[in-house]
Amino acid sequence: MLLRVLSLLCCACSFAVVAAPLPVPDQGPALRIQGSNTIGAALGPALVEGLMEHRGLQSVHREPGGGANEQRVVGKTRQGKTVTIDVAAHGSSTGFAALKKASADLAASSRPIKDSELVDLEPLGDLKSPEAEQVIAIDGLAIILNPRNPLNTLNTEQLAQIFNGEISTWEALGGIGGPIHLYARDDQSGTYDTFKELVLRLRGKPLAASAKRFESSEQLSDAVSQDPQGIGFIGLPYVRQAKAVAIVDGDSQPMLPLNSLIATEDYPLSRRLFFYLPPSSPTPWAKALVDFTQSSQGQAIVAANGFIAQQVQAMAVEPRASMPEDYQAIAHDAQRLTVNFRFEEGSASLDNKAHQDLQRVVAYLKSHDKLNKQVTLVGFGDAKDDPQRAALLSKLRAMAVRRELVKSGVVLRDIRGFGAQMPVAANTADEGRIKNRRVEVWVY
């Protein structure tokens, strides 16, 4: 036993030696983060604090920054040198603009980088590469009402009509209360960009000019919770005193913004939160923050701040009559992991998050002794004219995941394809089809 303890101590010591100290600039911040308010308001500073403490800095604390929605995280090295990291949270688009102007080292974004931004930032390298595009957490956009509002479910078509102003009274939705009051995030917000992409743009509808706009997520949520006629959209941690409703997209089941449904990205208004790290010249502190965020310690901070961590867990799924019989049998005997593998748009290649999740799934299977015939992969696809073709493609997607798992020594129990059955999103646009093209992982 003593030898084992000494061995572990030696390993710990050698690990500490490997982690080289990060450089401390003589003046100015060691790292500048700009972008999403959803990330920058609390999660970003919390991750920075975690990194500083992990690196042995002392007296770590936050201070107000130079303006509204700006913070500075400060710590001291053992030698007494001050380290500062600046976090500015004015909206996702401002993060990419700051990267271009070299006024930020890391962009925080609550939406994927746009094609125009990608082209604009080409001199910094490929920001869609696995090294540059880092999914740090999963969030869900909650549709919130005043707690006294009796409505419990809305579909995405209704949401578009409500926020466009076409549906303007609660009575038109079968409720009560008179005129609907709209609350929305501002134009710089990734939360607004996500709502616009997932709800408004797909149906060709702009946001009504009457909507009250907010830079602060907290202020928006509190305004809705105090207005009996109010409705708004918000990131999951900011529901606060408001009431979240269940959402239906296309032929999907009504889904509340529950942790399990957001972790698998099945919830219609789920979204990914990102750090974008310029691959051509990443600063040491930016790279260290990205690596720390993807670690189990970093993901624990993600969860503690109300977002959905990417740590893999098993969950029981209640078989329902609406499920195919073969799927009900799987649900009866196995548990589903809280991860779905998804693919690059128009491609059979796994996306950047899927590559990260492969490592997490393998680690889970190893730690739970499930490497040998304890895993079934279940593939799904979007609707096709030929159901047999859809079923084949869904199974081929599962086989693509199998090929990667086999490289890590996983022996599969079974591979199944259910075609276009059990959609989680409408198949009327690319975004919905991408969500439906997924592979679930079930363990016995």
CB 330 within 8 A of CB 416: yes
* Phi, psi of 376, rounded to the nearest 5 degrees: -120, 130
Average model confidence (pLDDT) across the chain:
92
Give the pLDDT confidence score for residue 17 in this predicted structure.
37
Give the pLDDT confidence score for residue 346 in this predicted structure.
65
| 2 occurs within a structural domain | no
Q: Considering only 49-63, 73-87, 256-270, which range has the smallest mean pLDDT?
A: 256-270
Counting residues of the chain whose pLDDT is more than 90, the rounded percentage is 80
Single out the residue in 199, 230, 263 at which a domain terminates.
Answer: 263
DSSP string across 137-195: EEEEEEEEE-TT----EEEHHHHHHHHHTSS-BGGGGT--SSBPEEEEE-TT-HHHHHH
Dump pLDDT digits (tens) for 281-290: 899 999 999 9
Burial call 172-204: b when 16+ CB within 10 Å, e when fewer: ebeeebeebbbbbbeebbbbbbbbbbbbbebee
Give the pLDDT confidence score for residue 428 in this predicted structure.
72
Single out the residue in 204, 232, 263 at which a domain terminates.
Answer: 263
Whether residue 62 is found in the same domain as residue 103: yes
Mean pLDDT of 33-46: 95
The more confidently predicted of residues 171 and 390 is 171
- The enclosing domain of 156 has a CATH number of 3.40.190.10
Mean pLDDT of 94-117: 97
Residue 9: pLDDT over 70: no
**Residue 380 CB neighbour total at 10 angstroms:** 28
Look up the domain containing 76 and give its range.
Answer: 18-137+272-304
User: First vs last Cα of the chain: how many Å apart?
Assistant: 34
Single out the residue in 202, 234, 263 at which a domain terminates.
Answer: 263
Whether residue 173 is found in the same domain as residue 281: no
Say how many domains are in the chain: 3
Whether residue 250 is found in the same domain as residue 322: no
Please state, in angstroms and rounded to a whole number, the distance separating the CA atoms of residues 304 and 46: 9
| 52 occurs within a structural domain | yes
Counting residues of the chain whose pLDDT is more than 70, the rounded percentage is 95
Please state, in angstroms and rounded to a whole number, the distance separating the CA atoms of residues 169 and 162: 9
Report the candidate in 40, 163, 43, 31 with the shortest Cα–Cα distance to residue 91.
Answer: 40
Runs of H (alpha helix) within 255-370 = 259-263, 284-294, 296-304, 325-333, 352-367
Whether residue 299 is found in the same domain as residue 380: no
| 4 occurs within a structural domain | no
Dump pLDDT digits (tens) for 367-407: 999 999 999 999 998 876 677 888 888 999 999 999 999 99
| 7 occurs within a structural domain | no
Residue 73: pLDDT over 60: yes
Whether residue 282 is found in the same domain as residue 133: yes
Residue 320: pLDDT over 80: yes
- The enclosing domain of 321 has a CATH number of 3.30.1330.60
Mean pLDDT of 147-162: 96
Mean pLDDT of 290-304: 96
Whether residue 115 is found in the same domain as residue 196: no
Residue 117: pLDDT over 70: yes
Whether residue 429 is found in the same domain as residue 373: yes
Give the pLDDT confidence score for residue 384 in this predicted structure.
67
| 12 occurs within a structural domain | no
Whether residue 317 is found in the same domain as residue 432: yes
pLDDT level of residue 6 (50, 70, 90 thresholds): very low
Whether residue 209 is found in the same domain as residue 276: no
Whether residue 290 is found in the same domain as residue 389: no
| 343 occurs within a structural domain | yes
Whether residue 233 is found in the same domain as residue 321: no
Mean pLDDT of 251-265: 92
Residue 188: pLDDT over 90: no
Give the pLDDT confidence score for residue 203 in this predicted structure.
87
Residue 2: pLDDT over 90: no
| 353 occurs within a structural domain | yes
Dump pLDDT digits (tens) for 198-228: 899 878 999 999 999 999 999 999 999 999 9
| 436 occurs within a structural domain | yes
Whether residue 117 is found in the same domain as residue 235: no
